[in-house]
Amino acid sequence: MDLDASQMALNLISAALAFAAAGLWYRSVKVRVPPSDQQDEDGIYPFSIVMNDGSDFIETAKAQSRWSRHAATAAAFQGGAICLSLL
């Protein structure tokens, strides 16, 4: 593979990772977790802060954090692909 082909491949990988990161960040914005109605082992219902849209605030924040972490990982690899294509 010559230099132009490898740079093109890295640019395509970079573009794909950028779109993946954008999709994952969009998913992190849209994810909602409904409140749990299950009792814990003591028979007590868990405390949850329910937002206006009916989702559990804490669990939704945890899910959003997981999706954002995946998006940041994709963006980091995208940045690495850009750096490699510039060498």
Place of tokens 């997981």: 66
CA distances from 19 to 3, 38, 68 (A): 24, 38, 14
In the predicted structure, residue 17 carries a pLDDT above the cut 70: yes
pLDDT of residue 53: 86
Q: Return the bridge partners of 56, or none.
A: 50
Question: Which amino acid would we find at residue 24?
Answer: L
Nearest to 18 by CA among 62, 71, 61, 59: 71
Determine whether 68 is exposed, middle or buried from the number of CB atoms within 10 Å of its CB (0-12, 13-18, 19+). Answer: middle
pLDDT of residue 50: 80
pLDDT of residue 1: 59
> Tens digits of per-residue pLDDT, 20-65?
999 999 999 999 998 877 777 777 667 777 888 888 898 999 999 9
Q: What is the mean pLDDT of residues 4-18?
A: 90
